[in-house]
Amino acid sequence: MPDAESASAGKLNVLSEDPLCAGVFLPNTDVPVSPIGGHFIRSHFPAPQIDSSSWSLPISGEVDNPIELSYADLLAMPSHEVTNIMECAGNSRSTMQPPAEGVQWDNGGLGAATWKGVPVKDVLEKAGLKSSATDVLFEGSDSGTEPHSGGPLNYAMSVPLEKLLNPDTILAYQINGETLPKNHGFPIRLLVPGWYGMASVKWLDKITVLDHPNGGFHEMDYRIYPAADDKNDTSIQRVTTLKVKSLIGSPSRGDILKPGPHKIKGVAWSGDGHITKVEISTDDCRSWHEAKLEEPNGNYTWQHFEYDWNAVSVGHSLLRCRATDSAGNVQPMLATWNFRGYQVNSIHSVPITVRRD
Ligand SMILES: Nc1nc2c(c(=O)[nH]1)N[C@H]1C(S)=C(S)[C@@H](COP(=O)(O)O)O[C@H]1N2
Ligand SMILES: [Mo]
């Protein structure tokens, strides 16, 4: 089923139709990977219609041997699979106070999938990197105007070479064993595992090896400015690695439960290692209890957790989850405010009511 159709069939929560931005419903995270049509979609511009038989990908810039690869050339190269959680840098933005600019995602701007493609590294090796190469610019064929862009432009982002030399960074042509659907970047997209979604450029049109970061519109847009009075931190940071985070999938906000045993289930992930602990609080943070946690499956995807809760008291409760990763990062009660509402990883709280009937 094409994504736009499954979005309208209610598998996704549609925030905007064209360009399509649609999030998952959190109870649907109780799966190893999101089914096709059930992975979030975030497009800045209308999705281009591309004919893979006439499409080709030029690789030029700081290379010894500029090349142009067809779709068939890429499919014929040795392939590699990566199971990855992708999260939009603006996910959970609507929980930020005061409100931040951008698509008002609740918590659904994420999905997990197994992607298949060709390591970017192999393609760069074919073209032969010059010693001056430091970054690579990936341009999509989609275009349009952004607030403050001052005119139309293509979606584009450069990624440092170091991240691209990791064989898990791939030019993907399949998701969960199927040809990439249009809304996920057909025919070929970049996949940068462990980073927020913005770097995984869809509808690739052109690759240019550079001797500096490109610093184009989208790259400059996905940045965090330090607080003006923070004398220790004056650096403007690019949004890159996923912050440690967890979300409760069920129960859902507003659910009415009967007194007695319930399972609190959800997912946790980090771009900085795997999750070592998820704790649950059902009493407004007075006490925290460790949940059962799934072992990591590879380096990049979510881990499910589950906690047996006995709801004895009638009334409302705030259910919360808090994850810790193997680098020792713990989710904060409130994420650091930034005006674009990026990388919000505040502790998720889900209000529910316990009622006899
Ligand atoms: N060409 C292109 N690539 C893009 C985008 C886009 O608008 N155009 N959106 C980016 C953003 S912000 C995210 S979060 C991911 C979303 O990927 P998905 O729609 O496959 O879930 O794609 C990224 N790649
Ligand atoms: Mo995003």
Question: For ligand 1, is residue 323 a contact (CB within 6 Å)?
Answer: no
Contact 44, 155 (CB under 8 A): yes
φ, ψ of residue 304 in degrees (nearest 5): -85, 150
Ligand 1, atom 18, lies closest to the CA of: 41
Cβ-Cβ contacts under 8 Å for 232 (sequence gap 6 or more): none
In testing the pocket of ligand 1, which one of 198, 218, 343 has its CB within 8 Å of the most ligand atoms? Answer: 198
Give the number of whichever ligand sits closest to the CA of residue 197. 1
pLDDT surpassing 70 at residue 9 = no
- The DSSP annotation for 2-34 comes to -HHHHHHTTSSEEEETTTTEEE--GGGG-SSSP
Closest to 332 in 3D by CA, of 45, 168, 92, 158? 92
Q: Which residues share a beta bridge with 137?
A: 158, 208
Domain borders along the chain are: 245-354
In testing the pocket of ligand 1, which one of 13, 15, 43, 344 has its CB within 8 Å of the most ligand atoms? Answer: 43
* Each residue's pLDDT tens digit, 289-343: 999 999 999 999 999 999 999 999 999 999 999 999 999 999 999 998 998 999 9
pLDDT surpassing 90 at residue 101 = no
pLDDT surpassing 70 at residue 172 = yes
Question: For ligand 1, is residue 24 a contact (CB within 6 Å)?
Answer: no
Question: For ligand 1, is residue 123 a contact (CB within 6 Å)?
Answer: no
* Each residue's pLDDT tens digit, 108-137: 999 999 999 999 999 999 999 999 999 999
Instruction: Indicate the DSSP class of residue 335.
Output: P
44 compared with 226, residue with greater pLDDT: 44
Question: For ligand 1, is residue 36 a contact (CB within 6 Å)?
Answer: no
Question: What integer pLDDT is reported at residue 230 of this predicted model?
Answer: 79
Question: For ligand 1, is residue 198 a contact (CB within 6 Å)?
Answer: yes
Q: Strand 204-210 vs strand 41-42: parallel, antiparallel, or unpaired?
A: unpaired
pLDDT surpassing 60 at residue 141 = yes
CA of 95 from ligand 1 middle (Å) equals 21
CA of 314 from ligand 2 middle (Å) equals 40
Question: For ligand 1, is residue 348 a contact (CB within 6 Å)?
Answer: no
> With bands split at pLDDT 50, 70 and 90, how would you rate the model's confidence at 351?
very high
* Each residue's pLDDT tens digit, 232-254: 777 889 999 999 999 999 999 99
What number does CATH give the domain 245-354?
2.60.40.650
Print burial letters for 323-347: b (CB count within 10 Å at least 16), e (below 16).
bbbeeebebeeebeebebbbbbbbb
Average pLDDT along the chain: 95
